[in-house]
Amino acid sequence: MSLFRKKSLDILLTQAADTEKGLKRTLGAGNLIALGIGAIIGAGLFVRTAAAAGEHAGPAVTLSFIVAAIGCAFAGLCYAEFASIIPIAGSAYTYAYATMGELVAWIIGWALILEYALGAATVSIAWSEFLNKLTGGSIPYEWCHSPFESALDANNVLHHGIINAPALLILILLTLLLIKGTQESAIVNSIIVILKVAIVIVFIAIGWSYIRPENHTPYLIPATAPDALQADGTMYSYKSFFNHGWGGVLKGAAIVFFAFIGFDAVSTAAQEAKNPKKDMPIGILGSLAICTVLYILFSWVLTGVAPFTDFVKAGKEASVAYAIETYMSKYMWLSKLITVGILAGFSSVILVMLMGQSRVFYTMSTDGLLPKVFSALHPKFRTPYKSNIILFVFVGLFAAFVPGSVAGDLTSIGTLLAFVLVCLGVLLLRRTDPHLQRPFKTPLVPLVPILGMLVCLAMIISLWGTTLLSAFLWMIIGLVIYFGYSRKRSKLGKFADVLPTADDFEAK
């Protein structure tokens, strides 16, 4: 059996047309844009901006956002073409199955777990931290931290974490919402999106008058920049290639890339869109465009209000609140509002990540690569409820018992790999099936897909080190599962000796 057997477009389009047995189509273009914004604006903007500015890019973090956005735009145009051709759940996994074969599709599906499941766990841990901040630290340390974390309190008493209960709470609430229905989830997400976008705009509008030009000079961190004091009392050096100048901008782009993760989650909802061929490109590219503009303005204001070196020692998780409390004390009320907005933002990110992962699992299960339990639909709500429950257990265990610092860049690598392969897939499909009807066509092919691959590969290289090693080990585990379980149970593999029709595939 070939490792690169491909799923025919006829089969995929037949599955997409099955509205009786499949997922329920309830989402319009506005819902899809809101889903994209809901997944995009969250931990990346509120947390990673300050980390990238303080340690790598300085005020030029705005350029880092532009570099990351360009890579995402190239990939987004390729996603939009695929989503209009193949309006089915599964995102990059499904596209790879049709263009590069089963093994590559499995690798992408496995990589997407890093993006969606690990991303949801990481953001839920951050949600717990901000809830504790909003309540003035009233949650006991033991009940909002991992057993692997400990800290001294004001009286120098050492506390050890037991379980991160708030992270579990938000995960179970959002899981129940997803089981109830996609439309209900989309409505809640839209409300949250309006709230957090309003708060971002308020910060930009008020903070603009507090920008000090000297904080933007020099714009790029020079190699001769003095070391900055860190929270643990040690000094942070900017001499490394990726800690200053254009190297710092590129590393900053890889860091803030986390802030763009989510627009591709729109493509996982293709099978629940009312008019996917028209609405999917609007949802993907619309949410990406809106968020890019907000990101550039936000980072310009943040680094203009506070010197970038402040974020080496202070801020990061609470960077926006820190900037307001330190340099905009007249607007202390805004600090609380920002924290509420961050909690809302994190909630919608977790919601869309959990939805995206369950839809990828759903599609992989219908292909036979995962057990049938992942594609079981609720008899009333027609949502993959068993997959949602299993996903809650997996993500919940991670969120409750593993420190949040473990994940960040791994999530970015899983996404970047998917982007590279989606761009490659567009090139391959243009060559193998040039006359295929494409409701949306990626412009300037092959230039756009090639540039998308190059920009994303450059960001992957800037994450060189233990992060790449961890991602490699994750892929080894995935390949063991594929060869030990999935390959033998693949529905497509059962037709290795005959040419399957769409009806055969569905019957099987």
The predicted pLDDT at position 212 comes to 95
Mean pLDDT by 10 residues, the chain (508 residues): 73 63 70 80 76 89 91 87 77 82 88 82 85 84 85 78 93 91 75 84 93 93 86 79 86 81 72 78 88 93 92 71 87 83 83 85 89 89 88 91 67 80 89 85 92 86 74 89 91 59 44
Cα separation of 447 and 283, whole Å? 23
CB neighbours (10 Å) of residue 436?
10
The predicted pLDDT at position 23 comes to 62
User: Would you call 188 helix, strand, or coil by DSSP?
Assistant: helix
The predicted pLDDT at position 166 comes to 94
Closest CA to 359 of 83, 102, 65: 83
Amino acid at 340: V
- DSSP characters over 283-337: HHHHHHHHHHHHHHHHHHHHHHHS-TTHHHHS-GGGHHHHHHHHH-GGGHHHHHH
The answer to whether 280 and 266 have CB atoms below 8 angstroms apart is yes
H-helix or E-strand spanning residue 134: helix 102-134
Domain boundaries, the chain: 9-507
Q: Which residue is listed with tokens 């490394």?
A: 240
Task: For residue 37, give both structure tokens.
Answer: 């914004």
The predicted pLDDT at position 29 comes to 80
Q: What is the 3-state secondary structure (H, E, C) of 246-275?
A: HHHHHHHHHHHHHHHCCHHHHHHHHHHECC
The predicted pLDDT at position 503 comes to 45
Task: Please state the pTM of the whole predicted model.
Answer: 0.76
The answer to whether 90 and 272 have CB atoms below 8 angstroms apart is no
Angle at 85 between CA 79 and CA 88, to 5 degrees: 80
CB neighbours (10 Å) of residue 451?
17
The secondary structure of residue 402, as a DSSP letter, is: S
The packing angle between helices 165-180 and 332-366, to 10°, is 60
9-507 CATH fold: Amino acid/polyamine transporter I (1.20.1740)
Task: For residue 402, give both structure tokens.
Answer: 């593993």
Cα separation of 255 and 42, whole Å? 14
